[in-house]
Amino acid sequence: MTPLEIVCIRTNVIFALTCNAQTAKGQLEGFEGFALARTSRYGRQRPRAVNIDGRLYCRASDPVHVTPTMARKNQYTPITPETYETAGLRRVINELRAPERAWVLRCYGYDMGLDHYLLICEMVWERMRQRLAGKRVSHKMVERLIRLVELAVENTEEKCRNPENPIAYEPIDAAKEIGVALDNWSKNYKKYWWMLHRISEELDAEALKSILVKCDL
């Protein structure tokens, strides 16, 4: 994909996932707290309030008092034109493979649910584990690399959301996080640190490419 295509897809995905935010209560939710109740002393006795030829009769049904639930004079539209126009793109996102869908919803839809985060980290680590196959890596180093996965994922997410000025963890911060000296970091961990970033970027590219193939953007 070209840089222009990447920017176009990201812009459309962010818009599609954020324009669907609900701005008001629904029709049924708006009646919450307005239950019909009779609080008089003899609430179960039907009042004789209809006078016909000097005789009082009970009403067939009591009048219902409806409290306005609209905060404004004009009601909100059930669905905005923008939400309707981007529905197809959201359907495509929901049809992505689970790791790709989790990445898109978290990175571009700001859905910070733990399930998405764990699925992404598991996917990144599985690919990292495959690339470590055949290499001499100690159990202690593996534990430290697992701790670096979440930092690399968060760095890549920030870079994708805000490519101009990302707020990311520096290598020195990552070294402190796993408790290794800088010389040890440069010698043994630096290459794996950037490898985790590349794997995260690959997941982003795969998700965007899947959307591009299925959508006419």
Instruction: Give yes or no for residue 34 having a pLDDT over 80.
Output: no
Say which residue, 126 or 23, is predicted with more confidence: 126
pLDDT band at 161 (very low <50, low <70, confident <90, very high): confident
What local confidence, expressed as pLDDT, does residue 141 receive?
Answer: 93
What local confidence, expressed as pLDDT, does residue 44 receive?
Answer: 60
Using CA atoms of 110, 119, 134, 191 in order, give the dihedral in degrees to the nearest 10.
20
What local confidence, expressed as pLDDT, does residue 59 receive?
Answer: 73
What local confidence, expressed as pLDDT, does residue 25 receive?
Answer: 53
What local confidence, expressed as pLDDT, does residue 90 receive?
Answer: 92
- Mean pLDDT lowest among 43-52, 86-95, 106-115, 147-156: 43-52
pTM, two decimals, is: 0.72
pLDDT averaged over every residue in the chain: 83
What local confidence, expressed as pLDDT, does residue 39 receive?
Answer: 57
Distance in angstroms (rounded) separating the CA atoms of residues 135 and 124: 18
CB-neighbour burial class of residue 203 (10 A; exposed 0-12, middle 13-18, buried 19+): buried
What local confidence, expressed as pLDDT, does residue 178 receive?
Answer: 92
Q: Which residues pair with 50 in a beta bridge?
A: 57
Say which residue, 134 or 46, is predicted with more confidence: 134
Instruction: Give yes or no for residue 206 having a pLDDT over 70.
Output: yes
